[in-house]
Copies of this chain bind each other. A is one copy, B any other.
Amino acid sequence: MKAEIITIGDELLIGQTIDTNSAWIGAELSRLGFEVTQITSIPDRRERILKMLNEVTGRCDVVLITGGLGPTSDDITKQTLCEFFNTTLITNQEVLGMIELMFQRRNLPMNENNRRQADVPASCRVLFNATGTAPGMWFEKGGTIFISMPGVPLEMKYIMKEHVLPELGKRFRSRIILHKNIMTYGTYEAKLAELLEVFESQLPSNIKLAYLPSLGIIKLRLTASGNNQNELSRQINEQVQKLYKTIPQYIYGEDEETMEMAVGRILKEKKLTVCTAESCTGGMIAHLITSVPGSSAYYKGSVIAYDNSVKTDILKVKKSTLNKYGAVSREVVEEMAQGALYIMNCNIAVATTGIAGPDGGSPAKPVGTLWIAVASANGIKSEKYQFIHDRETNIKHFSTAALNMLRLAAVSE
């Protein structure tokens, strides 16, 4: 039960667009038990598309294709599919009606380019798209199913969820593959690998462990394959319990839980409210916390004190503290956290001040220096961190470190 993904578009090859579709499709297909054997990105060129379609025919059971279905002249996937499947374009009245309705509802004028979106290869099954003007298309040839979808992630996901995944789930019954992720923070890959050497060596042959590091977080992925769902669940659970015994200090969550989701889960459980005061992280912590649906239950707000005047005027940091210790100091970050706690009247406040770069560093306080403070009725705790990345990456690392301190504070509240 093999699947491949083909993404079409010059913008992918010249790096103007990052292909996020393949990862999403790969995850969904894996969940259905498919083995995704290859992802290939090719340009909007007739001969390249034809060559690729020929290559995959018979090599796998399903091919998911995205891109090249836009209304503009650089998109040629539809015509090329017609050529490959030896068919012609016809206007699909249902799709045309939907496009007309869409433009009416948004009160936008419709042009010939929009209308042409309703032309589909005569031999395909049309997969209705309620989120955009390009429908999905389902073909079969030489024992392989070909599914073509628009490259816009929202539209691709709609067609996948609505049509493709349910249909593939019905048509293919297979060897079961279970994944389980354990999310860790606070150490590095080689160190974890050392701590887990004995754990790895005792894993049953049908279970594999992978390390997936990303911005300080290392995801440990256990993959089990077999025929019995219950037995696989039992096996995975057994190994997960061993992981909790071996590295308890590094595990913050499971599955796809982000640090901000873990923070939200604990705050909700404990019925605690939180606020933030950010300098160098510039709103990233607030953004991460509020990216979690339902965060209004525990998150009150933030003061982004980028300028020192905001630190003194709103957060009530003392001018003398700023003058004596500088903005990036334990003293200032603690006053920021205490100020936020007071003015926003929460159970916990977390504050950051540091130097994200590229400018602003000094020998004593180089780029990447970060101070975090967490304040609550129980007192205040502050810590210094040192990172070594570019501005964007530093801001992400800073925010994750602050969220982790907030998480630990919430656990012990």
Contact = CB atoms under 8 A, between A and B. Distances in A.
Given A23-B19, A193-B113, A14 B36 contact: yes
A24 B12 CA distance: 10
B301 A305 contact: yes
A30 interface: yes
Nearest to A192: B72
A194 interface: yes
Nearest to A73: B200
Contacts of A357: 293
B306 A303 contact: no
Contacts of A294: 359
Given A282-B287, A301-B303, A313-B343, A15 B30 contact: yes
A13 B286 CA distance: 32
A377 interface: no
14 contacts: A16-B181, A18-B18, A38-B40, A72-B211, A113-B190, A275-B310, A282-B287, A283-B289, A283-B290, A284-B287, A287-B395, A300-B306, A301-B303, A314-B344
Contacts of A411: none
B296 A306 contact: yes
Given A14-B26, A74-B210, 14 more contacts: A17-B23, A17-B214, A18-B18, A40-B41, A71-B193, A72-B210, A72-B211, A111-B190, A278-B283, A290-B395, A301-B305, A301-B310, A302-B303, A303-B314
Chain A facing B: main interface SS = mixed
B391 A71 contact: no
Contact of A190 (B24, B133, B191): B133
A395 B221 CA distance: 30
A212 interface: yes
A214 B345 CA distance: 39
B293 A283 contact: no
B15 A26 contact: yes
Interface in A1-16: 10-16
Nearest to A201: B73
Given A283-B284, A291-B282, A23 B18 contact: yes
Given A190-B133, A221-B11, A392 B291 contact: yes
A108 interface: yes
A275 B306 CA distance: 10
Interface of A: 10-20, 22-28, 30, 36-43, 48, 70-74, 108-109, 111, 113-114, 133, 152, 154, 179, 181, 188-191, 193-194, 200, 208-214, 219, 221, 223, 275-276, 278, 282-287, 289-291, 293-296, 299-307, 309-310, 313-314, 343-345, 357-359, 389-393, 395
Contact of A19 (B22, B193, B299): B22
8 closest Cβ pairs, A-B complex: A282-B290, A283-B286, A15-B27, A15-B26, A283-B283, A301-B310, A302-B304, A39-B41
Nearest to A11: B212
Most buried by B among A11, A14, A20, A74: A14
B283 A287 contact: yes
A306 B36 CA distance: 42
Most buried by B among A23, A25, A395: A23
Contacts of A194: 111, 113
A285 B193 CA distance: 39
A216 to B, nearest CB: 12
Contact of A71 (B26, B71, B190): B190
Contacts of A395: 287, 290-291
A209 to B, nearest CB: 7
A28 B13 CA distance: 11
Contact of A13 (B36, B109, B191): B36
